[in-house]
Amino acid sequence: MYRKVHLATRKSNMNVPVQKYMKTRILLSIFVVVLGLAAGFFFFRPPTLHGTIIQSPEPSFDFMLTGIDGDVSLSDFRGKLVLVYFGYTFCPDICPATLANAGQALRSMSDRQSEDIQLIMISLDPERDTPQKLAEYVAHFHPSFIGITGPEEKLAEVTSLYGIFYEKHPGTAATGYLIDHTATLLVIDREGYLKLVFPFGVTTKEIADDLKYMLRQ
């Protein structure tokens, strides 16, 4: 009995610094874990891309239209990220603003990154936009940009399948007719799947950030 009490007393005396030490250790560990969790959430949080992500189960429609160097199809660019934009060269504001932002985004990247990206502008105005004129127009925004177009029936098919509505309406004597159109910028991944839809108004930085993220995938 004595021995038991003695041992208990000794154990209790020894536990005072050990318990204090353990308490500090546990608190420190919790602090480190919480700090790490906050840092981890910051660095590993799910990507909040500026465009809308599409989880398409099948590849995008593979169009074939005509550019200055002949026929161009989407599948020619497998292995690259492809930006697809629908517009026309007489477009007064929306098209140049979007193309300028896309061009700036590519310029803000390294050569290696921008070489893995191809922008294709599909003209909705084959009547006025010849391949020659399109090539000159898109080159103003970035030398790598390609401009293509085709007959109305083909354009109707391509635009419908990419969710692009367009219609002509009268403009001024200076502009001629104008074309209202859906102004989204689409991103097709290296394997030909639609992955991202940028709304009109997307900025240079937002395009660049999202494309850089996609290039890392």
- For other proteins, the binding residues (CB under 8 A) are 25, 28-29, 32-33, 35-37, 39-40, 44-49, 52-58, 61, 153, 156-157, 159-167, 182, 186, 194, 197
Residue 12 or 217 with smaller CB distance to other proteins: 217
Minimum distance from residue 24 beta carbon to other proteins (Å) = 10
Minimum distance from residue 104 beta carbon to other proteins (Å) = 25
Residue 58 or 93 with smaller CB distance to other proteins: 58
Distance, CA of 136 to CA of 116 (rounded, Å) = 22
Q: Angle at which helices 204-216 and 94-107 pack, to 10 degrees?
A: 50
Task: Count other Cβ atoms within 10 Å, centred on residue 1.
Answer: 5
100 burial (CB, 10 Å; 0-12 / 13-18 / 19+) is middle
Residue 24 or 132 with smaller CB distance to other proteins: 24
- Residues ≥6 apart with Cβ < 8 Å to 182: 86, 163, 164, 165, 166
Residue 7 or 161 with smaller CB distance to other proteins: 161
- Residues ≥6 apart with Cβ < 8 Å to 9: none
Residue 144 or 182 with smaller CB distance to other proteins: 182
Structure tokens at 154: 């083909």
Contact 174, 193 (CB under 8 A): no
Q: What is the CA radius of gyration of the chain?
A: 29
Residue 106 or 207 with smaller CB distance to other proteins: 207
Distance, CA of 79 to CA of 66 (rounded, Å) = 21
Minimum distance from residue 162 beta carbon to other proteins (Å) = 6
Minimum distance from residue 53 beta carbon to other proteins (Å) = 6
Minimum distance from residue 156 beta carbon to other proteins (Å) = 6
Minimum distance from residue 48 beta carbon to other proteins (Å) = 6
